[in-house]
Structure 1
Amino acid sequence: MIEIIQKALNVYSPVSLQTAETLAGTAEVRVLNCEDFLEQEQQTIKSEFIVLEGIVRGYILNTEGEDVTVNFYVTGNAVTPAIMRGINNKSVYNVQVISDKASVLVFNNTRMEELMPYSADLQQFGNIVLMMDSMRRMEKEVLLLKENAKGKLDWFRKIYPGLENEIQHYYIASYLGITPTSLSRIRANS
C-alpha cells in the first residue's frame, strides 16, 4: 500500500516514504464497476480519491434532473478535492465510474487534513492538486464562453487524448455544453 500511495501522489508532487507510510493507515484501494459511485450529491464528504486505473466522471444534476458532466478523471488523476466538491461538508457533486472497471485510491479526508499541517510534502501535493483543478476549471469556463463547438472538441481532444473513443459521447457533449447531435456532426467532419 505504501508504494501505491507514494507512486500516486508523486504524479503531482514528490512525497516522502514517511508521508506515504503515515497515509497508509487512512487509505484503501477500491475496485469498482461501471456506474458505481464514489460519492453522490448530499452525502457527507468522507474521502479524497485518486484514480489508479480507469475513467471516472464528476457531474451535477440541473433543475430538470439532467446530469451535466463537470469533469473527467483518468488514470493518475486526483479527483477534485473535497474542499471544492461540497458545501458544509455535503457533496454537491456525483463522482461515478464510467469505464468498465476502475481502481481508485481512497483516503479518509478528515485524517488527511489532520496530517497536512505536519507534512510539508503532503501540503505541497494538496496545493498542486487544488491549483491544477482550479486552472482546468478556469480554462474550461473561458472555452465554454468563447469557442464554437469545433473549438471545444479540439480542446477536449488535446486535454483528454483518446478519451472520446473510450466513453459515451453524450458525456462529452454534456461536458462541452453542446448537444449530442452537434458533437456527432463535428466528429463526422473532423
Structure 2
Amino acid sequence: MKKIKVKKGTILQRKGDINTKVYYVEKGLLRSYTIDEKGKEHIYMFGPESWLVTDNCDSKDPCQLFIDAIENTTINVASKKEVLKQDPDLNPILRRLNKMQNRIVMLMSSSAKERYEHFIKTYPNITQRVPLKMIASYLGITPEALSRVRNELSKKK
C-alpha cells in the first residue's frame, strides 16, 4: 500500500470512474456518497480511522459513488488487483458486497417505480411466486404504493 496525505475536500473518486482503488484510513475521515438525478446527495458511508473505503463496483463497471476527504486525511492506497492477489478468496465476498452496495444505493436514491422496475429485471420469475406485500417490503415501500406503481406501469403498456 502507498501512503498518501489528502487535504479536506479532495475527491478521490467520482461517480462514473472505473474504480481500482481501496483506501485504508490511517488518520482523518472519508465519505462515500452518490448524487441522484435531482441533485440530492445520499451518503453511503463514512470512513474513519482503521476503515476501508472503496466502491464495490466490478472493475469493468463504472462506479456509483463519489469518495472524498471531509478532513485532512492520511490514507493507504492499494489497487483491488493487489488486494485480490494477496487474498483471492476475497473475490466472491467483494461480488456480494457489490450487490449489497447496489441495493443500498438504489433504496437511497431511486423512486419506487425505478426500484420496482429493477426488481422485475433482477427477479423476473418471482413476482408471481411471492405476495405483493413481500415485494413492497423488499422495495421499502407500502403495499399501497406498490399497487399505484403497478397500475401506472400497466397503463403504459
TM range (shorter): 0.5 to 0.7
The 1:68/1:33 distance shift into structure 2, 3 A limit, reads same
Does residue 93 of structure 2 align to residue 108 of structure 1?
no
Does residue 66 of structure 2 align to residue 66 of structure 1?
no
Identity fraction in percent: 13
Give 5+ residue unaligned stretches, structure 2.
108-157
Does residue 82 of structure 2 align to residue 98 of structure 1?
no
Give 5+ residue unaligned stretches, structure 1.
1-26, 142-190
User: Which of the two has higher C-alpha Rg?
Assistant: 2
Deviation, structure 1 residue 77: 0.7
The question of whether the paired residues in 1 share the 8 Å contact of 2:35 and 2:41 is answered with: yes
Deviation, structure 1 residue 127: 5.2
Q: How far, CA to CA, are the matches of 1:78 and 1:88 in structure 2?
A: 21
- Which residue does 1:5 correspond to in 2? none
Q: SS at 1:72's partner residue?
A: strand
Deviation, structure 1 residue 86: 5.3
TM-score normalised by the chain length of structure 1: 0.45
The question of whether the paired residues in 2 share the 8 Å contact of 1:49 and 1:106 is answered with: yes
Deviation, structure 1 residue 91: 1.1
Deviation, structure 1 residue 89: 3.2
Q: How far, CA to CA, are the matches of 2:80 and 2:59 in structure 1?
A: 15
* Structure whose residues are more often helix by fraction: 1
- Which residue does 1:38 correspond to in 2? 12
The question of whether the paired residues in 1 share the 8 Å contact of 2:20 and 2:59 is answered with: no
Q: SS at 1:114's partner residue?
A: helix
Q: How far, CA to CA, are the matches of 1:113 and 1:87 in structure 2?
A: 12
Deviation, structure 1 residue 92: 0.8
Paired residues in the alignment total 101
Q: How far, CA to CA, are the matches of 2:63 and 2:73 in structure 1?
A: 21
Task: For 1:102, give the aligned amino acid.
Answer: T
Q: SS at 1:38's partner residue?
A: strand
- Which residue does 1:185 correspond to in 2? none
Deviation, structure 1 residue 66: 2.4
The 1:68/1:87 distance shift into structure 2, 3 A limit, reads farther
Deviation, structure 1 residue 109: 1.1
Task: For 2:4, give the aligned amino acid.
Answer: R
The question of whether the paired residues in 2 share the 8 Å contact of 1:86 and 1:92 is answered with: no
Runs of 4+ in 1 over 2 A off after TM superposition: 84-89
TM-score normalised by the chain length of structure 2: 0.53
